[in-house]
């Protein structure tokens, strides 16, 4: 989940976005989802919400704001956040993270005495489902999914639309880019064709059954009671301000088991005040420290 950066003013139709309405939207987006939207994104906000105004037959952003902030605007508040975010996802995105997973994380789990203990992965900001499916394929291919008796992947996103898409788990040929053909044949079935006559691939139960999809706003209370061995939260926190990021670093640290792993997006870094809690492994891969894993840095 990311905030869309495009803010061209060309070909924008519909009512103008006045400053007061813009500030109401910005305030709501920040307080509700932690989205930090600068004044330079006015045209982007107008473009992204223009369809919402058309669909609801509003002639002004003022009226639209009155509506989504009213008691009857509960559903629209979710639609607004969805419209302001874009879901960019690929299978095996940032391959070096999956290399670390295969080279460091999975062997350490399989060397420990935890085959009968719960092993938990979390894809936080799972978008259309390619990330948790990439995790599931990696866990199957490594043998961890067969070795562990209780292995699950939690996949969450703030956008209910992408959760529904991920649960359906059907992907066009274009969306399957990044999946080697032999893995596509092994873990997906060709079930239908879309209007453009592209192949549509549906995930098989061998990987889909490992994943539980849930809608979750990272800024709200997390209902999960157990701790995680691995958390992927990539290309999400970069769009939060520093205060919100620091809240999340603390929550992620508390959600990980000692020695657990946190993977971030390529432009994201844990803030200096939380560096003492984690050791770094390569690029944007972190391991929660404890007495067994003293502080160290790897380049």
* CA dist., res. 88 & res. 177, Å (int): 13
Question: 219: domain CATH number?
Answer: 3.40.50.150
| Mean pLDDT to the nearest integer, 109-118 | 80
* CA dist., res. 88 & res. 232, Å (int): 15
- Choose the final residue of a domain: 63, 86, 109: 86
The tokens describing 262, both together, are 């946190």
| Mean pLDDT to the nearest integer, 288-294 | 65
Model pLDDT, residue 272: 85
On whether both 6 and 113 belong to a single domain, the answer is: no
On whether both 155 and 266 belong to a single domain, the answer is: yes
Domain coverage including residue 127: 95-298
Select which of 24, 46, 52, 157 is catalytic: 157
On whether both 40 and 102 belong to a single domain, the answer is: no
On whether both 81 and 143 belong to a single domain, the answer is: no
DSSP string, 247-289: HHHHHHHHHEEEEEEEEE-TT----GGGGGGEEEESSSEEEE-
Question: 37: domain CATH number?
Answer: 1.10.155.10
Q: Point out the least confidently predicted range of 113-117, 207-211, 294-298.
A: 294-298
On whether both 39 and 113 belong to a single domain, the answer is: no
| Active site annotation includes 77 | no
On whether both 123 and 52 belong to a single domain, the answer is: no
Q: Phi/psi class of residue 282: alpha, beta or left (left: φ > 0; alpha: ψ in -120 to 50)?
A: left
The answer to whether residues 37 and 30 touch, using CB atoms and an 8 Å cutoff, is: yes
| Mean pLDDT to the nearest integer, 102-131 | 90
| Mean pLDDT to the nearest integer, 87-115 | 89
Q: How many domains does the chain have?
A: 2
| Active site annotation includes 48 | yes
Task: Characterize the bridge pairing of strands 228-233 and 119-124.
Answer: parallel
On whether both 44 and 190 belong to a single domain, the answer is: no
On whether both 115 and 228 belong to a single domain, the answer is: yes
On whether both 30 and 130 belong to a single domain, the answer is: no
Annotated binding site for S-adenosyl-L-methionine: 87, 89, 93, 131, 157, 217-218, 234-235
Average pLDDT of the chain to the nearest whole number: 89
The answer to whether residues 144 and 106 touch, using CB atoms and an 8 Å cutoff, is: yes
Select which of 24, 46, 48, 120 is catalytic: 48
- Choose the final residue of a domain: 39, 61, 86: 86
- Choose the final residue of a domain: 35, 68, 86: 86
Annotated binding site: 87, 89, 93, 131, 157, 217-218, 234-235
Q: pLDDT tens digits for 214-266?
A: 999 999 999 999 999 999 999 999 879 899 999 999 999 999 999 999 999 99
User: Residue 4 pLDDT > 60, yes or no?
Assistant: no
On whether both 25 and 126 belong to a single domain, the answer is: no
Model pLDDT, residue 109: 93
């Amino acid at each position: 989940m990311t905030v869309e950066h495009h803010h061209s003013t060309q070909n924008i139709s519909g009512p103008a976005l006045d400053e007061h309405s813009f500030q109401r939207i910005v305030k709501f987006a920040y307080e509700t989802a932690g989205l930090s939207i600068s004044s330079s994104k006015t045209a982007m906000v107008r473009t992204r919400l223009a369809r919402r105004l058309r669909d609801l037959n509003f002639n002004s952003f003022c009226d639209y704001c009155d509506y989504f902030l009213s008691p009857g605007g509960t559903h629209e508040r979710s639609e607004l956040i969805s419209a302001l975010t874009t879901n960019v996802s690929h299978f095996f995105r940032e391959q070096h993270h999956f290399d670390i997973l295969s080279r460091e994380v999975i062997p350490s789990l399989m060397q420990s005495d935890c085959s009968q203990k719960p092993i938990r992965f979390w894809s936080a900001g799972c978008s259309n489902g390619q990330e948790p499916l990439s995790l599931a394929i990696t866990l199957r291919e490594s043998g961890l999914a067969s070795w562990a008796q209780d292995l699950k992947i939690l996949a969450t996103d703030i956008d209910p639309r992408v959760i529904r898409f991920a649960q359906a788990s059907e992907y066009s040929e274009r969306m399957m880019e990044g999946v080697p053909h032999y893995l596509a044949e092994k873990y997906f079935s060709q079930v239908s064709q879309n209007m453009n006559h592209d192949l549509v691939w549906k995930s098989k139960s061998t990987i889909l059954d490992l994943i539980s999809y849930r809608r979750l706003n990272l800024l709200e209370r997390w209902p999960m009671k157990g701790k995680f061995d691995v958390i992927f939260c990539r290309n999400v926190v970069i769009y939060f301000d520093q205060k919100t990021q620091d809240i999340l670093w603390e929550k992620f640290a508390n959600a990980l088991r000692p020695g657990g792993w946190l993977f971030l997006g390529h432009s994201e870094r844990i803030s200096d005040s939380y560096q003492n809690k984690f050791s770094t492994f390569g690029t944007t891969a972190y391991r929660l420290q404890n007495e067994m894993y003293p502080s160290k840095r790897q380049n």
